[in-house]
Chains A and B, each alone.
Chain A
Amino acid sequence: MRALYWFARMLDGGCDPHYLARRIVRMAVEDIGLADPRGQQLALDAWQTFERLGSPEGELALANALVYLAVAPKSNAVYVAYGEAQGRRRAVRHARCAAALSAMRRPSS
């Protein structure tokens, strides 16, 4: 389980566990997505458990979430879809701006 190796290595190197908790939730949201929506709940719960329990046992909650996410099925479908929707929205806005600008530049008479 490579994820556990890097988790242990980062903590050993002095990394703030809060940062890792944030990255684990990010992983659940972006890389697991709706292929397993429970990943997000578990990651957030692990973060909360860590905050309440503190080190060192609290880190075990993060490790639990990490292993679960590592094994869970992966999907970035919503991540991709959201990106496309944002791009489309931006394109529409730019087109309207361009139309408005060219209308303003047009001589009135």
Chain B
Amino acid sequence: MKGLGYGEGYQYAHDAPDAFVKGERYLPDEMPDRRYYRPVARGLEIKIGEALARSAQAAAKTIGGGQVMSWLLGGTGRRAGKRRALRRLSAVALVAGRLAACPHSRSICWGPSPSDSYICMLRPAAPAPTMRGFFG
């Protein structure tokens, strides 16, 4: 498997700060980011929602310019190419449009349906939690 290039560029999450690999998508290249799970504001899901918002904020904050450029230009994968770069550019344009479209001042706003979502990062980052995890 390794000879075929499987696992190339794999980053072990535990080696990254806070066990969180910055800039990793964990999705096929041709697939757009999409949120399936939207926790309700009841029970344990209140805490889960807060934890998800924190990690989304961390992801938005920590992706640096260099990383964005290398990602835009096709990354380091073995199938780097023009078409992929184009797809990525269009994805970025989409996200930028969503960013501009957000009328709220919440850290992350989702539209009425999953496909109609926009991301807003106008709000300053929440103070870091004293303990990792949502049970405190």
Interface residues of B in 23-43 (CB under 8 A from A): 25-27, 31, 35-37
**Is B14 a contact of A5 with CB atoms below 8 Å?**
no
**Given the known A-B contacts A2-B26, A36-B133, A71-B134, are A76 and B14 also in contact in the complex, defined by CB atoms under 8 Å?**
yes
Interface string of A66-91 (1 = CB under 8 A from B): 01100111111000000000000000
**Is B26 a contact of A72 with CB atoms below 8 Å?**
no
Once the chains are docked, how many angstroms separate the CA of A67 from the CA of B133? 14
B82 within 8 A of A: no
**Given the known A-B contacts A31-B14, A71-B51, A75-B19, are A1 and B37 also in contact in the complex, defined by CB atoms under 8 Å?**
yes
Task: Tell me the smallest distance from the CB of A92 to a CB of chain B, in Å.
Answer: 27
Q: How large is the interface on A (under 10, 10 to 19, 20 to 34, 35 or more residues)?
A: 10 to 19
Interface residues of A in 1-55 (CB under 8 A from B): 1-2, 4-6, 31, 35-36
Task: Tell me the smallest distance from the CB of B66 to a CB of chain A, in Å.
Answer: 23
Contact partners of B36 in chain A: CB under 8 A: 1, 4-5
Task: Tell me the smallest distance from the CB of B3 to a CB of chain A, in Å.
Answer: 23
Task: Tell me the smallest distance from the CB of A80 to a CB of chain B, in Å.
Answer: 8
Once the chains are docked, how many angstroms separate the CA of A76 from the CA of B15? 10
**Is B27 a contact of A2 with CB atoms below 8 Å?**
yes
Contact partners of A6 in chain B: CB under 8 A: 26
**Given the known A-B contacts A1-B35, A1-B36, A74-B13, are A35 and B132 also in contact in the complex, defined by CB atoms under 8 Å?**
yes
**Is A72 a contact of B133 with CB atoms below 8 Å?**
yes
- B26, B27, B135: the one contacting A36 at CB < 8 Å is B135
**Is A74 a contact of B14 with CB atoms below 8 Å?**
yes
Once the chains are docked, how many angstroms separate the CA of A68 from the CA of B135? 12
B109 within 8 A of A: no
Task: Tell me the smallest distance from the CB of B54 to a CB of chain A, in Å.
Answer: 10
A residues at B contact (CB < 8 Å): 1-2, 4-6, 31, 35-36, 67-68, 71-76
B residues at A contact (CB < 8 Å): 13-14, 19, 25-27, 31, 35-37, 48, 51-52, 55, 132-135
Q: 7 A-B pairs, CB-CB below 8 angstroms?
A: A5-B31, A5-B36, A35-B132, A67-B48, A71-B51, A71-B55, A76-B19
